[in-house]
């Protein structure tokens, strides 16, 4: 297993998570019909990305899973930390 490939794939998994989170947050502000269509399209794109990752080598799959698995708790921690910053 190539460590550099794992790290690059982890960064890609993290990017996919953050991009999806951002798009879904914006979709939640739209009307219900647009939201449903957008979520279906996002789901199809994620299925395609996961299919490509699954077809790739083992180190790519491991890195993608690690990156996508570590990002949500770190992202929540960063968002909570911003709220506790002292105001001047």
Task: Output the CA torsion sign for 5, 11, 13, 15.
Answer: negative
pTM to 2 decimals? 0.68
More confident residue, 3 or 37: 37
- pLDDT for position 66: 81
Q: Could you tell me the sign of the dihedral formed by the alpha carbons of 7, 52, 76, 73, in that order? A: negative
Q: Do 71 and 13 touch, CB atoms closer than 8 A? A: yes
In this model, does residue 82 exceed pLDDT 80? Answer: no
Those residues with Cβ within 8 angstroms of residue 7's Cβ, 6 or more apart along the chain or in another chain:
63
Which residues fall within 8 angstroms of residue 66, CB to CB, at 6 or more apart?
A: 6, 9, 10, 13
Diameter of the chain measured on Cα atoms: 52
């Amino acid at each position: 297993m190539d460590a550099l490939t794992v790290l690059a794939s982890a960064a890609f998994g993290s990017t996919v998570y953050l991009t999806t989170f951002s798009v879904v947050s914006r979709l939640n502000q739209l009307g219900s019909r647009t939201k449903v269509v957008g979520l279906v399209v996002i789901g199809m794109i994620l299925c395609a990305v996961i299919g490509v990752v699954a077809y790739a080598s083992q180190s790519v799959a491991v890195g993608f899973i690690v990156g996508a698995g570590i990002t949500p708790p770190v992202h929540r921690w960063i968002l909570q930390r911003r709220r506790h910053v002292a105001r001047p």
